Amino acid sequence: MIETLRCTCEAAECDRELDESQRMLTMETSAGIRHAYECECGAVTVTVVR
């Protein structure tokens, strides 16, 4: 069982941890909640919560 999940940047050679201060967009649909995060490196990472 996974006890702790981390939201990290998915860009090549970047593994910075992302938090609410980098969250730029939240969208809720019937499929779940999506959050878009912008990392300091300029990459955007999208997460999905069902």
Taking the model in full, what pTM does it have?
0.80
User: 17: which 2 tokens?
Assistant: 């941890």
Using one digit for the tens of pLDDT, what is the confidence trace for 3-36?
778 899 989 999 999 999 999 999 999 989 999 9
Give Dmax over CA atoms of the chain in angstroms: 34
Nearest C-alpha neighbor of 38 from the set 26, 27, 24? 24
Q: Is 23 exposed, middle or buried (0-12, 13-18, 19+ CB in 10 A)?
A: middle
